[in-house]
Amino acid sequence: MRELKKLWNEKYKGVEHTLQQMQNVKTAVTAFNTNIDAVLKISGKRLAELAHQCSLDWKQLNHIEKNSIEEIPDVVKGAFRCFSKGIAEEWLISDLRVFDWLMQNIGYDRLQMGGQGGIVANALAVCGVQKVLNHCNSLPEKQAKLFLPLDNLLSFDEEGNLAPAWKINRSKDIPLMHWIIEFDKGDVFELEDYKISCPKANRFIATYDPMNSNLVRDEHFVDYMDRAKTDVVILSGYHALTAEKNGVFLVENSLPVIKKWQQNGALLHLEIASTQDKIVRKTIVDKVATLADSIGLNERETIDVLEVIGEESLAEICESKINSRNLFEAIMKIKEKVKTKRIQMHMFGLYVTVQDKDFKVSAQRNLEGMCLAATVAASKAACGHINCRENLLWAKNMDVSEIGLRELRLLSEYIQNEKLLTDGIAEYNGYDVIAVPTILVEKPKTLVGMGDTISSISLVGAL
């Protein structure tokens, strides 16, 4: 293990050069969802207090009929589910009274940039991409202040003029807020005679966001993009839709828009995200993922996709034992189904990319982008943010994780190609497979936007 770790640490020494090369990328676009995150760290003790406050006993706490928030106790149920399993999920709030309760009873520790579009825009801009254009369907001053004060990060003002996003104040727009309820590995929840220890640091997201929930688009942005040339579009924001509220139509209605971007030469990457509505999830997979040049997902999202492509048995296997072997089999099934040229899955300790031989970016460049993404993600976890360029490579001299190396060995044995273990690149069934053991931070200060940061920097860092 020591020699293997030394070999991989050597591969990571190129991340500074890879970061420098990101300045050669002319234009990156992020769409559709940008919002304000209200971040709160919650203890197991406080969660138990909220369960008691909502008159929830152990049986009620574990009885979940819908992964959505229709009344106040659903907030506690969702948070407990994620705490007890060490998983990340996002549930949508349908009642304004729940929003008011959260403001009065939960509050927040801080406000920060939210939504895949906003998070990725900040990350790519601070990494040095020449022009980053972000879609905002709501951009009041409170939202604008969460953009980094960088003149290469742009959006549209009230008159439709392109301007640095942090300077804009569309005063008539309403702020869109999401609660990010985080918890620590090893924290303990006790209720009645039951005691649960949180297996992995993660978060539960409670969202009240009528604009992104209806995929409202800024027409100034759409008009500009109809004419613009761009290198890459990082696409997200579909996960908040529901079939009950016209979600399928909204997904399908966006297809001509994003097809136009591709016709203009953009490489289209889709972040799958945690989509609770299965009908909408299936529509995203069938209509958007099949259109995208590249897709990104984590362990949970991989299992979610299996459930809507007729691979329920494999989903159950992955659910019962999350490891690189099972998840690799899963992403191969997904790739066969959606036929995207590139798919990247990030799991705890390991990133895996499978791509066609003729994909625009070489396997070696993908490896370099993934190493950079792992370094930036670890830096973000350790520092709490990557709001300044100095923080980006904070973790560059840290060792790769033994967990990641074990998962990489398991995957290498599964595809029967030791090159994957030592080189990070191997061929399997006519595809390039690229796998990178990551840097893990024992006590992360934040996990918000980690997957979005990983996916976007992995790809854009490889261009």
For 299-361, the DSSP string reads HHHHHHHHHTTT-HHHHHHHHHS--HHHHHHHHHHHHHHH--SEEEEEETTEEEEEE-TT-SS
pLDDT at position 221: 97
Which helix (H) or strand (E) segment holds residue 407: the answer is helix 402-414
Three-class secondary structure of residue 285 per DSSP: helix
Tell me the pLDDT tens digit for each residue of 389-445: 999 999 999 999 999 999 999 999 999 999 999 999 999 999 999 999 999 998 888
Query: What DSSP element (H or E) covers 253?
Result: helix 247-263
Nearest CA to 23 among 125, 120, 130, 124?
A: 130
- Token pair, residue 182, equals 């985080």
- What's the CATH architecture for 2-36+113-169+212-460? 3-Layer(aba) Sandwich (3.40)
Same-fold call for 2-36+113-169+212-460 versus 37-112+174-208: no
| SS3 per residue for 60-94 | HHHCCCCCCECCHHHHHHHHHHHHHHCCCEEEEEC
pLDDT at 8: 96
Closest CA to 21 of 422, 368, 423: 368
CA atoms in the 13 A half-sphere facing the CB of 262: 15
DSSP per-residue letters across 372-405: HHHHHHHHHHHHS---SGGGTTTTTTSPPPHHHH
For the stretch 241-264, pLDDT in tens is 999 999 999 999 999 999 999 999
CA distance 124 to 126: 6
Contact 290, 338 (CB under 8 A): yes
Q: Please answer whether residues 333 and 318 qualify as being in contact, where contact means their C-beta atoms are separated by less than 8 angstroms.
A: no
Structural contact between residues 111 and 92, judged by C-beta atoms closer than 8 angstroms: no
Report the pLDDT value the prediction gives residue 99, as an integer from 0 to 100: 85
CATH annotation of 37-112+174-208 = 3.30.1110.20
> Distance (Å, rounded) from C-alpha 113 to C-alpha 204?
16
Q: What is the pLDDT of residue 326?
A: 98
Would you kindly state where each structural domain of the chain is located, as residue ranges? 2-36+113-169+212-460, 37-112+174-208
The bridge status of strand 89-92 relative to strand 202-208 is parallel
Helix axis angle, 299-307 to 324-338, nearest 10°? 50
Residue-level pLDDT at 266: 96
Residue in the structure block whose two tokens are 């004060």: 149
With a cut of 50, which residues of the chain have pLDDT below it? none
pLDDT for 207 equals 87
